Amino acid sequence: MILVRNILVTILVVMVFSRCKNKQEKQKPISDVVMTDYYTEPYRPQFHFSPEENWMNDPNGMVFHKGVYHLFYQYYPEDIVWGPMHWGHATSKDLVHWEHKPIALFPDEHGLIFSGSAVVDFANTSGFGTLDNPPLVAIFTYHLMEGEKAGRDDFQTQGIAYSTDNGNTWTKFDGNPVIKNDGLKDFRDPKVFWDEKSHQWIMSVVAGDHLELWGSSNLKEWAKLSEFGKDKGAHGGVWECPDLFPLKVEGSEEEKWVLLISINPGAPNGGSGTQYFIGEFDGERFTTEQTETKWLDWGTDNYAGVTYNVLPQDYHGNTYANDPKQDRIFIGWMSNWTYARDTPTQKWRSAMTVPRKLSLKKISDAYELVNYPIQGIEALVANGVKKDIELQNGLEETIFFDDLNQSEIRFQTVARDFKVKLQNTLGEETVLTMIDEEKVFYLDRTNSGKVDFQEDFASIQEMPIPFLPEVYEVRILVDQSSVEVFINEGQYVMTAQIFPSERYTKLSFLNSSEAPITLNNFRLSSIQGTW
């Protein structure tokens, strides 16, 4: 018995030493790491966030505090398929390079830890910290599996936890849950912010097929204020992951309120997607005159995304050089519930989109929410091919590149009929097509690589593009298992996973119009890995 125990202790010491060694290697600049197999598994994203191992879904608790961006996320630490939910945790100074942290929140007697948000309680309204050291407060959904299995409708409630050491450790409130459930089967995903006009905390929380707004003076005691959405927007599935925030209309002093609502199923290209509403919020109710459904991203793989909470403009505490100020920075889960459990990865499953800045623009007399990669991504882009590409009608130009699966493709054009193909030597390809007559952009991944792991994955995705200006930009970010397309600086966006059997090395442009076209300022560049 003593021998067995000594052997187990030895194994444990070796494992701990190995994990510590790996952690040290992760924190070295990329140029200092000569050889490492860290984060090099097949399909492992190189400039997107992904967990070190096991299952991840929705981003949670996105908050900036004392120079640190916190990213929490739905996490199951025992397997690469969905299981009892925890809050995983990572931090960053630039939203590009990430450091993994220990699990922040574990399930307890009230249930699993589902999605939610986090705030800086800058005035210490909760009493969990002090004015000199305001606490971080996490607000999340408890999901009591025993209640669900018993057929009850009150198994989802809202709880809170707090941290006084900038998110390193968390204490759950002993008065949880702070909002109980009167019988709503789907009552979850609280997103909380401080409303300066009504001088209270506002919680957006979904209730099946609509939104509820709640108010609180101290984050502990809540009162229901209003409802929204039973007769608005898409209702092909359950509403999830709300986010309500103000934005100035670009080029003016006009301010509107934006409401993000994820829905599953019911997205325009199948499964999961995120719709948005533009309207007004008076401190109690959100209203909108919007009649059509608007989508943040037309691809199949951008879901449950929310934005970083920002501090009030008159916040009296310390500021930092990397403070987002009033910028709205969005991160989404880069997957789709239709096939999320089936994607062909082994050690981990799922990644996040690149962080994107949200902007509000008025286009053709309508308010449109634009999302575009944050400036920090530019620092990862290496020098590459630069030229203008001129193509006669019906002709194709091909460029060979060592690794298109870690690249940026970028150009300006007036062209409306063309194809862009990412290909490998096996004949696999992801095809992007713009057709002027239809005013539609297509992303075809039916022959992109491994597609047979789930029957709906091999798809041709469509995005209407009715209001393009004469000259516009196309920007494509390709990672080991994803493609993100931004047209006209984020006016039209598509995000999709791909799983090629080998790396793409051939980029082709086909002029499918009846006239010559030019791709101006064309650039094909490598993107540096961040791990």
Q: Hey, where are the domains in the chain?
A: 54-372, 381-526
Helix (H, G, I), strand (E, B) or coil at 69: strand
Q: Are 409 and 524 in contact (CB under 8 A)?
A: yes
Banded pLDDT at 5 (limits 50, 70, 90): very low
High-pLDDT (> 70) share of the chain, % = 93
- What was the pLDDT predicted at 17? 32
Among the listed residues 32, 37, 58, 186, the single catalytic one is 58
Mean pLDDT confidence for 358-380? 97
In this structure, are strands 54-65 and 348-349 parallel, antiparallel, or unpaired? parallel
Pick among 3.40.30.10, 3.30.2020.30, 1.10.3720.10, 2.115.10.20: CATH of 54-372 = 2.115.10.20
Give the span between the Cα atoms of 335 and 299, in whole angstroms. Answer: 10
Banded pLDDT at 239 (limits 50, 70, 90): very high
pLDDT, tens only, 111-143: 999 999 999 999 999 999 999 999 999 999 999
Give the span between the Cα atoms of 247 and 260, in whole angstroms. Answer: 13
In this structure, are strands 294-295 and 136-143 parallel, antiparallel, or unpaired? unpaired
- What was the pLDDT predicted at 317? 73
Tokens 């390193």 sit on residue: 168
Give the span between the Cα atoms of 93 and 322, in whole angstroms. Answer: 7
Chain centre to alpha carbon of residue 260: 12
- For residue 28, pLDDT over 60 is answered with no
- What was the pLDDT predicted at 54? 98
Mean pLDDT confidence for 147-157? 97
Query: Nearest 5°: phi and psi at 23?
Result: -60, -40
- What was the pLDDT predicted at 314? 74
Banded pLDDT at 312 (limits 50, 70, 90): confident
High-pLDDT (> 90) share of the chain, % = 90
Residue count of the chain, please give it: 531
Mean pLDDT confidence for 360-366? 95
Give, for 16, the enclosing helix (H) or strand (E).
helix 2-26
pLDDT, tens only, 168-183: 999 999 999 999 999 9
Per-chain mean pLDDT for the chain: 93
Query: Nearest 5°: phi and psi at 332?
Result: -120, 160
- The second-level CATH assignment, the architecture, of 381-526 is Sandwich (2.60)
- What was the pLDDT predicted at 26? 38
Peptide linkage before 177 cis (omega within 30 of 0):
yes
Residues 6+ apart with CB under 8 A from 393: 511, 513, 514, 515, 516
Residues 6+ apart with CB under 8 A from 518: 388, 389, 390, 391, 413, 414, 415
DSSP assignment of 338-352: TTTTTSS-SSEE--B
pLDDT, tens only, 245-259: 999 999 999 999 999
- What was the pLDDT predicted at 102? 98
- What was the pLDDT predicted at 25? 35
pLDDT, tens only, 455-473: 999 999 999 999 999 999 9
Helix (H, G, I), strand (E, B) or coil at 495: strand
- For residue 242, pLDDT over 60 is answered with yes
Q: Is the pTM of this model over 0.85?
A: yes
- What was the pLDDT predicted at 383? 83
- For residue 431, pLDDT over 70 is answered with yes
58 is catalytic: yes
Instruction: Locate 483 and state its tokens.
Output: 């493609």
More confident residue, 320 or 431: 431
